[in-house]
Structure 1
Amino acid sequence: METIQDQMRQLKLVRIAEELPLLLQDASKREASYAELLQDLLGRELSAKQDRHAAMKTTMARFPFQKSLESFDFKFQPSIEPKVIRELAAGRFIADADNVLLLGPPGVGKTHLAVGLGLRACALGYRTMFLTASSLVASLTRAHQENRLEEKLKLLVQPRLLIIDEIGYLPLERLGANLFFQLVSRRYERGSILITSNQSLAGWGQVFGDQILATAILDRLLHHSTILNIKGESYRLKEKRKSGLLTRSEPYTEPGAEVEASS
């Protein structure tokens, strides 16, 4: 037994090396065939490898937090159709290099859904990257200034799913808007982009400081895309009211952000 387990470890079959004695006992009780035992052993090792790869991809994605789709409160946001989220969670949009736009006011769960879909993408084996719009534009601008833009764009094209959070919270300068357009163009029909924004699509001209540029960006994003307009009350507003910090008659404004719902 020790010799077999040592050979398994040398072959990097770590999971079944650890579980081999119990697996053999279980197979004996069930009177499993050799083929059934082999299938069970290999299945467990494959599952362990997939778990390790998913964990590695999750770490590399750099999510700001980890919240699953299962923990999302669809009852609180009835404007979201759970069936659509389930279809997105299957990962077909990533395989087809389609895009997803989650639009709505602050606090309605856009980032939670984006992270949940990103975690599911990692579990499916897709390389994923999460960035806020401000950090993305800052890194592109820095790369441009240091003559490393081509290198940076190549890195940002590699993930099968690129999540860009919080488009529209701050207007972009001309250079940043142009660099964002270059990234969207590079990824067009090559990799999926998932965007969250507190602005309706009609307001993107102001976000990018140029209606023509915004139209060119949207033309590429919307060609193959799913758009979800999320309406309703902020989760944070709900919690404030629960704790008695805010009465129902008092307005609530997210610091530094607009609260008008997208249409």
Structure 2
Amino acid sequence: MNSNQTVEKLRQMRLSAMAELHHQHIGSNRFADFTADEYIALLADHEWEDRQNKKMARLIKKAAFKQKASVADIDYSHSRNLDKNMFTRLAGLGFVDKKENIIITGPSGVGKSYLVQALGNQACLMGYRTVYSSTSRLLSKLKLSKADGTYLRELRKLQNTDLLILDDFGLQAFDATAREIVLDIIDDRFTEKSTLVSSQLPVSTWYDIIGEGTIADAILDRLVNSSHRIDLKGESLRKGILKNE
């Protein structure tokens, strides 16, 4: 069997990265640089790294973040009550393995959305299935799914997500349908998956925002009691950006 046939068979077996590297080595005649074991390990490592990179790219695309955010780029210099040691520990994603939640609250412009997306991006890089959405947009989508009969299917998708990020929670008071949807989501994920919530409103006001005492109690009991809390302070970071423009 000649080398070109080997390359073609690797491609047919969907070992494309391995095939490409082997093809390059055929052209440069680098076989003598390795023992047989070393060469096989080199090809296998290259294929594995390529698949991992593609997996991370798929997870990030599917998460549907609205901006590129990275844990490495977080600015801790602003006085906004963000503890670097605590956030670095959370970025290790032990909370996802423990099925715990995170709640980040604070006024508009202090960087809540960036922080939750940075954690979401980190989750994707570590192989966790992640979904990001503004709360209002997700509720609108699920209300439509109730009408077209796909509601249970959409709930299962969320239930199978390792990390669900609900941004801008509570900007609008919930109607009866929204309350039921949020309870379904949170109840499915309770002790099974992690949920990350950001809100301009303090948690103490969520009871009234959700409305209907029994449902509000059920949602908050499942969401808040198993959560890490970050309460950001300070002025909007956007003010400094506008001053410098």
TM-score, length basis structure 2: 0.88
Aligned to 1:76: 78
Q: Are the aligned partners of 1:164 and 1:195 in contact in 2 as well (CA < 8 Å)?
A: yes
Same amino acid, percent of matched pairs: 26
Structure 1 residues 42 and 217 mapped into 2: Cα distance closer, same or farther (>3 Å)? same
Q: Distance in 2 between matches of 1:26 and 1:92?
A: 43
CA distance in 1 between partners of 2:171 and 2:113 (Å)? 13
CA distance in 2, matches of 1:13, 1:26: 20
CA distance in 2, matches of 1:239, 1:161: 31
Task: Extract unaligned runs of 5+ from structure 2.
Answer: none
Equivalent residue pairs, number: 241
Does residue 189 in structure 1 map to residue 191 in structure 2?
yes
> 1:143 Cα deviation (Å)?
2.8
Letter in 2 for 1:162: L
SS at the partner of 2:78?
Answer: coil
Q: Is the Cα contact below 8 Å between 2:105 and 2:232 reproduced in 1?
A: yes
CA distance in 2 between partners of 1:2 and 1:117 (Å)? 44
Structure 2 residue identity aligned to 1:53: K
SS at match of 1:162: strand
**Structure-2 separation of matches of 1:91 and 1:33:** 39
Structure 2 distance, partners of 1:11, 1:176, is: 47
- 1:93–1:192: 8 Å Cα contact kept in structure 2? yes
User: Is the CA contact 1:164–1:196 (under 8 Å) kept in the aligned structure 2?
Assistant: yes
Tell me by how many angstroms 1:198 deviates: 0.8
Q: Distance in 1 between matches of 2:69 and 2:205?
A: 29
- State how far apart, in whole Å, the 1-side matches of 2:30 and 2:116 are: 41
Cα displacement (A) at 1:11: 2.0
1:18-67 per-residue CA deviation (whole Å, 9 max, x = no partner) reads: 222349866744xx433233222211110100111111111111111222
Cα pair distance change 1:71/1:81, threshold 3 Å: same
The equivalences for 1:4-43 within 5 A come to 4-20=6-22, 21-22=24-25, 28-29=32-33, 32-43=34-45
TM-score by length of 1: 0.82
Deviates more, 1:201-210 or 1:127-136: 201-210
Contact 1:204/1:211 (CA < 8 Å) preserved in 2?
no
| Offset at residue 68 of structure 1 (A) | 1.4
1:185 is displaced (CA, Å) by: 0.8
- Tell me the equivalent position of 1:203: 205
Deviation at 1:148, TM superposition (A): 4.1
Task: Give 1 or 2: higher helix fraction.
Answer: 2
Q: Secondary structure at the match of 2:102?
A: strand
Decide which of 69, 91, 94 is 2:93's aligned counterpart. Answer: 91
SS of equivalent to 1:167: coil
| Cα offset, 1:221, TM superposition | 1.1
Match of 2:142 among 140, 143, 167: 140
